[in-house]
Amino acid sequence: MSHDRSTGSGDDPRDDARHELGDGPAFSVDHLRREGLIEPPAEAEGTHDGTGRVDLSFAVRAADGSSSPRGARVPPGVSVFDAASWNGIAIDSTCGGHGTCRKCKVRVSPSGAPVPVTRHDERTFSAEQLEDGWRLACLVRATQDLEVDVPPLTTRPKAATVGVGRQVILRPAVQKRYVELVEPTLSDQRTDLVRLREAIDDLELTVDLEVLRRLPVVLRQADFKVTAVVVDEALIDVEPGDTSRVRYGLAFDLGTTTVVATLLDLESGTPVAVASRLNRQQPYGGDVITRISATMMDPEALGRLQAAAGRTLAELAAEVCSEGGVDPSSVYEVALAGNATMTSLALGIDPEPLGVAPFVMGTAAYPTLLAADLGLSLHPRARATVFPSLGAYVGGDIVAGMLATGMDRDKRVRLLIDVGTNCEIVLSDGDRIVATAAPAGPAFEGGAIRCGMRADEGAIEVVRLGDSVELGVIGDAEPRGLCGSGLVDVVSELVRVGLLDATGRLVPDDVAAEIAPGLADRLTKVGEERVFVLHRPAADSPPEESVYLSQRDVRELQFAKAAISTGWTLLLEELGLAGADVQQVLLAGSFGSYLSPAAAIRIGLVPTLPVLRIVSAGNVAGEGAKMVLLSLRERAGAEALLEEVTYVELSDRADFNDRFVEQLAF
């Protein structure tokens, strides 16, 4: 459903003129704009004659405070954000450089005239910060030589690296057979390949040219005592001696925001090492639509996005191999689970058809690839298995999640929600399985939130309201911002204590003083927008220098949760069920893993059920990827899901907009 944002069809439910919520106040576009929902700002104008080049000197900060200098020469008028991206310098962003997320904060020192201040800069930085040169990189035009100080990028956000899975029968596609062959003689002139095939007569081995080139040399150097390395029935190598107990696989969950890698010992079936990091495609946008748009606007962007995905995967592969003490050449197979857009970008397939009606995939299933096709330096002929997709917005990651959670094996009514920028939803009644996607947007990742940030040190992830405010902060550090779970928590708590009404509007000051006197002084304004202050760096810190929740933030969360709840509501209707019929809700993904079930119920993100029915499922996509490496049977099960699951397209439903608006209320 995220694709609706790029079509310009006018079907976005946010543009509905008005809809009544029972007897309560009405929602309208004008009403929301008065609360601070303004259009993206105009970019800063710079003066230049369009000739020559501008020299930019970047000081890229690391987390330890050190910096590395990088230079770039660009045409005048290019934004600092684009100049950095073109030269491989990552500046934080979730909107792809469109001036709406306020994440691309840099400090600029001009060689001449001061850098213009945009109205968006004024809403992002204090007067002192503006004086000190802080600007949003996407709004700074390089019209003169600049020195640019780039803060550290969060490359290791808090992520779920394990999740709900099932026990599997260990039968990996990677097999190793140690054989001792009879050496040829004048009376026995069978070819080397025939000798090997006859020694492994239970498999119909196929072989490529590279293996044939190695075979005669390795056999004779090893006195015809070798180990054949087979993936499925493809002979990918012949190794001297007995290496039959050394075989590894790599499972990837290729997320839009976070990528997780798990190194598996295929001999024992146990994990050796696991690591996660930010997807290097992040500077191109925080969601799939902005990345698809990037490829549509720039013919060279696809190559850069593919390279960024490859670097992310390669860095993680090197990290887990180093941590596990494993030679990368001993990794013989890779499994990759990602949504349809991330998979297409990683493989260099044009994603444009995914982003425009009628939202068609190039293919639902992928051929067996080489790991090198994904930019990985493992065994030279290591294979890569890519999960199939159900639809343009229900991809291989959700297929992997269904496999891990056994959605096709359980007779209970179960709801699987993978919460992210694009939210995939699966419902099973024990006999039938239906799936869809909903346009949640970047709010759950901290995008489009005034004080939002990823789940990194200093992020508020838990909020409790009483006579005072209690905060849980990642790393027990000084609060720097609000991550997705903290956003849901604070909105849920404000609803509980009555400071947010059913329509999501912060109540007037006099009402707040009456119902929550200990919290009322935290309701104030930043500019013309009402906010709730969560943390002040000092007792006298003004609201704009504090960590706060704004009225616009509440609306962003409302839109996200309404999209998701509309999705599962329509799936329930598809199977003739009600919310109370659901026996288990599985919240998947990095965000879902840290989400408070009670808060999710209170704001309507999930059906109103007993809390114990809401389960944090963790990284089920990664678990599914591990399962197909460990078991050929599970790999066949993943392929079978394509036939068992019915994909429900919500964008062509005439009632979707009305149903969406119905779900906005808390």
Q: What is the mean pLDDT of residues 385-390?
A: 95
pLDDT at 4: 39
CA pair distance 567, 418, nearest whole angstrom: 12
Stated pTM of the model: 0.78
Helix (H, G, I), strand (E, B) or coil at 121: helix
pLDDT band at 8 (very low <50, low <70, confident <90, very high): very low
pLDDT tens track for 578-609: 999 999 999 987 677 678 889 999 999 999 99
Give me the residues paired with residue 252 across strands: 261, 336
Confidence of residue 38 (pLDDT cuts 50, 70, 90): very low
Q: How confident is the model at residue 430 (pLDDT cuts 50, 70, 90)?
A: very high
Could you count the other beta carbons within 10 Å of the beta carbon of residue 308?
Answer: 23
pLDDT of the residue at 159: 52
What is the distance between the alpha carbons of residues 211 and 218, in angstroms, rounded to a whole number? 10
Does residue 501 have a pLDDT over 90? yes
CB 274 within 8 A of CB 261: yes
* pLDDT band at residue 195 under the 50/70/90 scheme: very high
* Strand residue runs (E) in 510-663: 523-526, 529-535, 547-550, 584-588, 614-618, 645-647
More confident residue, 23 or 554: 554
- What's the pLDDT score for residue 85? 66
To the nearest whole number, what is the mean pLDDT of the chain? Answer: 87
What would the pLDDT profile of 99-154 be if each residue is shown by its tens digit?
A: 777 888 999 998 888 899 998 888 889 999 999 999 999 899 888 999 999 988 65
pLDDT value, residue 39:
38
Non-local CB neighbours of 164 within 8 Å, separated by 6+ positions: 404, 405, 586, 615, 617, 618, 620, 623
Mean pLDDT of 4-15: 39
Asked if 306 contacts 349 with a C-beta cutoff of 8 angstroms, the reply is no
pLDDT at residue 48, rounded to an integer: 58
- The distance from CA 155 to its chain's CA centroid, rounded to whole angstroms, is 13
- Candidate from 110-114, 181-185, 442-446 with smallest mean pLDDT: 442-446
Three-state SS for 1? coil
Q: According to the model, what pLDDT value does residue 3 have?
A: 40
72, β-bridge pairs: 56
Q: What are the structure tokens assigned to 47, written together?
A: 């003066």
How many residues are there in the chain? 666
- CA 291 – CA 97 distance, rounded (Å): 11
